[in-house]
Amino acid sequence: MALFSKKDSKICSTEFAVLPNHLGIIMDGNGRWAKNRGLPRTAGHKAGANVFRTISDECARLGIKYVTFYAFSTENWKRPQEEVDALMSLFMDYLLEAKADMTKAGTSKIKFIGERRGISKELLDLMDEAEQETASHTGTTVYLAINYGGRQEIVSAVNSLIAQGKTSVTEEDISANVYTVPDCDLIIRPSGEERLSNFLLWQAAYSEFWYSDVLWPDFKKDDLYSALREFEKRNRRFGG
Ligand code: FPP
């Protein structure tokens, strides 16, 4: 990830009157992007990983505090083994590079959300190292959702509360036991699909949504800006 100067951050913080505190992004459309080019689906994921880097850098530059990228759902294990393996190896490659870049830059921190069971020890070790090495950074927190499902997250929070001896729970209890992600302000979903797909179910209670037909590998900084401009105009009432 790039290291951005204070000067750049200042310029960009004046670009938007309001920014989401927590932005969620569903990176969708890699497969179709590849198919349109006669390429294997894995080529779409690779192109998508590059866009992930560009957009997470841009979020950091803008000063968005939290951004969560949906990289692999609890349901994605059902995909062909070859595609699952390619995605896991992409996560490994990316993490090796990103860990070094982020550690050097000293700005963004990376955290992983999702179920650890099912992920290889090799990848888990790398995820742990990346979290530890960036834990003291004070810039944007980039959450990468791997083996993540919103329902699974809520069930796991409730089970933690039961293990803590609770016999009834409050909203605050659940909020404190989900994967420590704050409520989500804006969810971006490209690729023409308009659904949540088990993403941040608890945190999305009052999220704004922004959809676009662009496929994730074609998603540009301008698309992010369009979403943020639209978010600026939204009148959020939180049910009041
Ligand atoms: C959904 O598109 C995308 C995924 C299931 C994988 C998302 C992963 C990446 C963008 C790579 C991220 C990499 C790193 C290193 C974080 P799809 O495959 O369902 O596309 P389709 O709907 O067009 O078939």
Convert the pLDDT of each residue in 162-190 to its tens digit: 999 999 999 999 999 999 889 999 999 99
Residue 5 has pLDDT above 70, yes or no: no
Q: Is 36 a catalytic residue?
A: no
| CA 155 to centroid of ligand 1, rounded, Å | 25
| CA 4 to centroid of ligand 1, rounded, Å | 27
User: What is the distance between the alpha carbons of residues 144 and 45, in angstroms, rounded to a whole number?
Assistant: 15
- pLDDT of 14 reads 66
**Annotated catalytic residue, options 8, 76, 173, 183:** 76
| CA 6 to centroid of ligand 1, rounded, Å | 32
pTM over 0.75: yes
CB 75 within 8 A of CB 30: no
Q: Whose CA is nearest to atom 13 of ligand 1?
A: 49
Write phi, then psi, for 214 (nearest 5 degrees). Answer: -65, 140
Write phi, then psi, for 146 (nearest 5 degrees). Answer: -125, 130
Q: What is the DSSP letter of 136?
A: T
Mean pLDDT for the chain? 92
Residue 52, ligand 1, Cβ within 6 A: yes
| CA 48 to centroid of ligand 1, rounded, Å | 7
- Element (H or E) spanning 62, and its range? helix 41-62
**184: Cβ contacts below 8 Å, ≥ 6 apart:** 20, 22, 23, 24, 68, 200, 203, 204, 207
CB 153 within 8 A of CB 202: yes
Residue 99 has pLDDT above 90, yes or no: no
Q: Is 235 a catalytic residue?
A: no
- pLDDT band per the 50, 70, 90 thresholds, residue 134: very high
Residue 31, ligand 1, Cβ within 6 A: yes
